[in-house]
Structure 1
Amino acid sequence: MDTSISMVDRKAAASDFLPPTVVDMSIRQDVHQHQHHAPSDPAAERRVREAIERAATRNSQLLSELEATAHGPGLLGNNHIKIEHVDKRLADLEPEVAKAVAAANQQLKSHKSYRDSLGKKWVYTLLKKRDVFDEKAQREERAYHQVLEKRHKAEATLNELNADKAALVVEMKTLEDLVGRHGAAHKGIDNLYSDIFDGPTAGFPDEDEQEQAHKVAKASLQERTEALKAAVRGVKAAQVVKLAIERALFEKQRAGFENHSDIFSQRSFHGTLSRCVAYIDRGLELTNQAIDVLETRPGPEQLLAKRNLEQHLTTARTQATSRLKDKSQNNALLERLGSALTSALQAQKEYHESMKKVSESCRNSIRQTARSLENERRALQQIRQSAFETTVGFGAAAPAYHECCDRAPGFEDDSHAQTASIQDPTVAEIPVDSEPPPDYEFPAEGSAPNTTTEAAPEPSTQAQTSAGYRSSVAGPVSDLGGEVTLTNPRGLPEAS
């Protein structure tokens, strides 16, 4: 039989039960760019044929095992469904059985109160109402037998369900062994074909082309997996922004308790606000990080939500860095700060939801790419099996290879599993008695608070201005701009 005709016939037969392979045009172009058919090498072709002939018996055994155990995965899945159904019925029936047992026990007490009570029987006899007593006793006895029958039926049903579950569990072990054999056969075929066909295969150019397409599909899935991992990091960063805002709100509340008129309480007030600023800065950092880690271009919804959150956090930071001179002004400042942080919480929720849409889009892309990878893998397996049939002959070949197990869900699960180890970003808690962050300055102890109502300048600007000014005067200089002398211990500006 002509080899080329056999290949065509085999591929046509395989197409009857294979789903169409879906590959993007970009992938096809990549395949053709990387595909280089080696010139004919009779010695290399002979070595490939010899390897196929040596593996023919093993291939036949594995395919026969695959066919004999092909029903295992389906039966195992059905068995799982049956056990879940039985468990649900047991969960529903057990309260009914308990209720029936309680009703039977209660009715038994009422029945015994007539059957075993000599005093009650004597009183009814003395009153010449023995027939009334007998009627009530019979009624209680009938009622007891009725509830007892319901109890027995419920308990019988419960016992049957437990027996069914025990039988399913025993069957489950047998099916698990069968599925284990089936999986081992799949793995054996994969390894056998990989040893023979991986890399350039002389005499089988169509196998080389399909192998390259499979590699491209596999790389595409990994690329989308990396995009998903980045999106998950972005979602986690957007979520942790909430923690930073909540801690900033807590510091704002503490500042309200420390807001008094004396100079020492003002120092404590501004120290508390410095911790609030540190948490706001961490929130801004995480807000930017959520977008920056993405490997895909963020959409307008994500950019708009990010900008909205940044505006609220920046407004809150401006309020928290303001230094006012009295208690009433600070109360108004805290009210504005609380309003800005509350708005930031709502904006964070919207930002988090928008980032979740990015990760969901990545998951959908992975699902489609996993399906494409499975289609390419199946096509590759079919071509490799046809190589056995054209080399050793149809008469000596095993049952035709057909893919009984869909691996696309497994590819998808493997991609999702790579995101399980991603940790949440941290928002380090600042101890209450710690020094404020170095980029937040407030008047030194014993000096008058700054009376400006505007935001403090940037730390670097403050440091340069202060250093430059102090180098131009003879004596020590206070933060208020005056020279500290024995007659001017607070460094107030001299009046001429």
Structure 2
Amino acid sequence: MLYEALEAQRALEAEVERHVQAQRDLDNLYDSIFQGFTPGFPEEDTKENELNSALQAYHGARVQFECESSAVQILSQAQHRMTSALHAIENALDHSRMDMFGGSFVSDMMERNELHKCEMDVSQAQMLVIQAQRMSPTVGNLPPVKIAQGSLMSDVLFDNIFTDAAFHDKIKDSRLELQRCARVLDQQLNAARGRQQELGLTVRGKTQVLDTARAELQEARQSIFETVA
């Protein structure tokens, strides 16, 4: 049963390919005869111009759609990096709390490590947004984010609850900036997805116009060919 189904599918695919090739051969034949200005057949020239215009409009819409789709993909990567940054700064705050209440030098090291990871993730997200803007100039900028950075030397020389608490507040300020930046990025991604969807509809519309123009041109050429043949 499965073998018969596969054989039927192969036969159908072969028939479709023969039809496509026959249509391609017919188009090539008509192009060789009617390509360009054809004196005496103004209706064919009109249909050919309509096809060229439809083809140009389709390609323009397709390029815009592909660019916006690339922007969506890049912004999605930026969002992933921003999520990682938010996770890192929460970890940094956890280590900072431990440091305030008697944590060891290890807590300081872990805190700084998470802040460094956060800063790297934010930097990568910002670079990805710049790449997305090259694909779609409509993509806006992200607000600036300053990730708190301390000094391990200061932690050794001036480590006390007051300095730890002050630095903890700086990390919290960085988290607020980061959260605001993440919200803006989410908005940019949602907007890009909306544009992508609209452009997809535009491409489908241009495709229908193109198919109609191609069919009308072929019909006009076939009519002329049958008349003069």
Structure-2 separation of matches of 1:190 and 1:201: 16
Partner of 2:129: 287
1:217 aligns with 2:59: no
1:378 aligns with 2:211: no
- Displacement of 1:331 in angstroms is 1.8
Confirm or deny: 8 A CA contact 2:84 2:121 kept in the other structure. Answer: yes
1:349 aligns with 2:217: no
1:318 aligns with 2:155: no
Aligned residues: 215
Structure-2 separation of matches of 1:180 and 1:319: 59
User: What do the CA deviations read for 1:218-260 (whole angstroms, capped 9, x no partner)?
Assistant: 1111111110111012112221222322332354325753785
Match of 1:329 among 145, 166, 174: 166
Matches within 5 A, 1:257-268: 257=95
How large is the Cα RMSD of the aligned pairs?
Answer: 3.4
Cα distance change of structure 1 residues 385 and 270 upon mapping to structure 2, 3 Å threshold: same
Structure 1 runs, 4 residues or longer, greater than 6 Å off:
261-268, 322-325
Matches within 5 A, 1:236-247: 236-247=73-84
1:363 aligns with 2:191: no
- Displacement of 1:208 in angstroms is 1.9
More helix by share: 2
Structure-2 separation of matches of 1:192 and 1:380: 13
Larger radius of gyration: 1
Cα distance change of structure 1 residues 244 and 169 upon mapping to structure 2, 3 Å threshold: closer
Confirm or deny: 8 A CA contact 2:119 2:147 kept in the other structure. Answer: no
Structure-1 separation of matches of 2:129 and 2:21: 48
Matches within 5 A, 1:119-138: none
Confirm or deny: 8 A CA contact 1:274 1:320 kept in the other structure. Answer: no
SS at match of 1:320: coil
Question: Unmatched 5+ residue regions in structure 1?
Answer: 1-162, 393-496
Cα distance change of structure 1 residues 368 and 331 upon mapping to structure 2, 3 Å threshold: same
Confirm or deny: 8 A CA contact 2:68 2:196 kept in the other structure. Answer: yes
One-letter code aligned to 1:330: F
Structure-2 separation of matches of 1:181 and 1:354: 44
SS at match of 2:146: helix
One-letter code aligned to 1:293: M
What is the TM-score with the length of structure 2 in the denominator? 0.75
User: What do the CA deviations read for 1:276-320 (whole angstroms, capped 9, x no partner)?
Assistant: 33432332343354345326xx4xxx7xxx57xx34xx2xx2352
| Greater RCO structure (CA 8 Å; 6+ sep) | 2
- Displacement of 1:185 in angstroms is 1.6
Confirm or deny: 8 A CA contact 1:256 1:331 kept in the other structure. Answer: no
- Displacement of 1:356 in angstroms is 0.5
Confirm or deny: 8 A CA contact 1:255 1:273 kept in the other structure. Answer: no
- Displacement of 1:211 in angstroms is 1.1
What is the TM-score with the length of structure 1 in the denominator? 0.38
Cα distance change of structure 1 residues 248 and 391 upon mapping to structure 2, 3 Å threshold: same
Question: Unmatched 5+ residue regions in structure 2?
Answer: none
